[in-house]
Chains A and B, each alone.
Chain A
């Protein structure tokens, strides 16, 4: 409970935040320092230059006051995806605004902002798989890894290929664009958020937890780490998913108890429950990985789930504008 109390303390009072920050390994300065430079460098070179000073004040004055001292930087990287994952993020409605107000600066997102090139980011939310026949795509995913502390595969395509698993080229006007791989086959991925589409609530939870992991004190980091561990383990486990996972990893392993979560999670109704066990229509399955990730017998942490009430309350509190 100590963890959760301090989580609440973090979300309402902000005293512990900077302390935790100091414990962290040194990070490259992510915030753009440009305005400061233009102010200080020319000032020493040309002490009489009034115009430069004005410029500096113009840049600084309208700067919004940040209610939280330390935000993390988040980018949305769009590979071969459908933008549905980003829409899902936006479907947090005012929750998205709260996240952007309090916890995260959106430093890159071609859909929403005109930053053209992938900057340095604390968290990269990568949507879509990678077309290996498209050089730019391959360069972008490599650049994303280089520029990000945490790479999150957002959605079924980035995690597992999803519908792009079925691509085989032969369409105008790039018939040679036939090879698509989940991002984890090209770069190391830290966290998976499976699902097609991933849910707004899941993306929100990961954002809040990523914030605590990067900016919280030790206890908050421990909580965030415990929360994110299953999604980190999924990222380590591989890049293939299918309704078959319910068979190979759950039923075949003697772990299925017929709760029906997989059937509820499936976005294409490929799973029905026959005499209490999943029946999977594999030709309907789009390989998104939601069924296995949602199954309580894929991963289940008593440490985290036993505290569901406090964690949900804390996330709700964090989402208050």
Chain B
């Protein structure tokens, strides 16, 4: 169950070259929302938009294709997308909400739908939840440390950040590439990520991420009935190019391996919180 429930898993990428140009991988999130906007499946989506500071995401309600395009690319820093989940149904006036988020944000969303303590009228207005694979996240200051200190690169000049093939990659606007071993990144990880037991956004309608698929492509899990319906319509509309996951390298085995590694490691940390922190005391466990 490390990959959660799903109806199908494929490799895919957007058929829109403009979306692909600024996309992190296969442009799945941007393309899904762009399609869903056009088709009237959603009337807006909470996405990680740009902010005043480079590579610092700011949650944003996108109701146009242009706004979606501005939020392409992974920022590797915290974007509290759930902070807009009620407002999007209030002053923004949306009835059919799209939302993208990391696995923890999908958990927050589903908890919010089942236990809407402070989220009146939110549960029924979630039309499409797209989850992205996530191994861990970094505070923004951690990204500055990594890029500017370890990477000796000015963050303003960075075109793209990526974690893959065991390294943290920094690509500059002028074509230089810096890579850091993942080992140096570990101490900058957000501590709250170390209790996370979800890698591939098990609770999303559709999850997507780079692992398992070749460069420029994404691995997709279609999970819920809602997700299945929307994915089928998007395929029928020609929004995506797909390949069977069995036909691509490295494929689903790597996804399973990384998911298992993450969950095993974090489960162990959770156990250590109960036994190794303090004497006769335990740190709190949210899952019990």
Contacts and interface: CB of A to CB of B under 8 A. Distances in A.
Contact of B117 (A293, A300, A309): A293
Contact of B283 (A253, A277, A309, A311): A253
Interface in B110-148: 110-121, 123-124, 137, 139-141
Interface residues of A, number: 54
A227 B119 CA distance: 18
Given A254-B192, A258-B78, A260-B59, A294 B119 contact: yes
Interface in A87-134: 88
Interface in A182-198: 193-195, 197-198
A263 B59 CA distance: 12
B191 interface: yes
Interface in A292-312: 293-302, 304-306, 308-309, 311-312
B116 A264 contact: no
Interface stretch (B100-108, B162-170, B180-188): B100-108
Contacts of B219: none
Interface stretch (A24-32, A35-43, A199-207): A199-207
A301 B124 CA distance: 21
Contact of B191 (A194, A254, A261, A263): A254
Contacts, number: 163
A298 B192 CA distance: 12
A136 interface: no
Contact of A300 (B101, B121, B193, B286): B286
A291 interface: yes
A275 B114 contact: no
A320 interface: no
A201 B104 contact: no
B275 interface: no
Contacts of B4: 306
B191 A260 contact: no
A150 interface: no
Contact of A195 (B84, B117, B192, B283): B117
Contacts of B225: 309
Nearest to B80: A260
A227 B287 CA distance: 13
Nearest to A206: B115
A197 B117 CA distance: 9
B208 interface: no
B68 interface: no
A302 B195 contact: no
Interface size class of B (residues with CB under 8 A): 35 or more
A293 B115 contact: yes
B201 interface: no
Contact of A201 (B85, B121, B196): B121
B286 A199 contact: no
A293 B117 CA distance: 7
Given A265-B118, A305-B203, A276 B77 contact: yes
Contacts of A304: 114
Given A273-B83, A311-B114, A305 B107 contact: yes
Given A296-B107, A308-B203, A290 B117 contact: yes
B114 A264 contact: no
B202 A306 contact: yes
A260 B117 contact: no
B82 interface: yes
B284 interface: yes
13 contacts: A194-B117, A199-B118, A202-B117, A259-B80, A259-B101, A264-B112, A272-B83, A276-B77, A294-B115, A294-B118, A297-B195, A302-B197, A305-B110
Interface of A: 88, 193-195, 197-202, 205, 227, 230-231, 249, 253-261, 263-267, 272-273, 275-277, 288, 290-291, 293-302, 304-306, 308-309, 311-312
Given A197-B120, A199-B116, 8 more contacts: A201-B123, A249-B284, A254-B191, A260-B81, A265-B119, A297-B192, A299-B286, A305-B203
- List the 9 closest pairs (A to B, CB-CB), nearest first: A276-B78, A265-B118, A260-B80, A260-B83, A290-B118, A257-B192, A258-B78, A199-B120, A263-B83
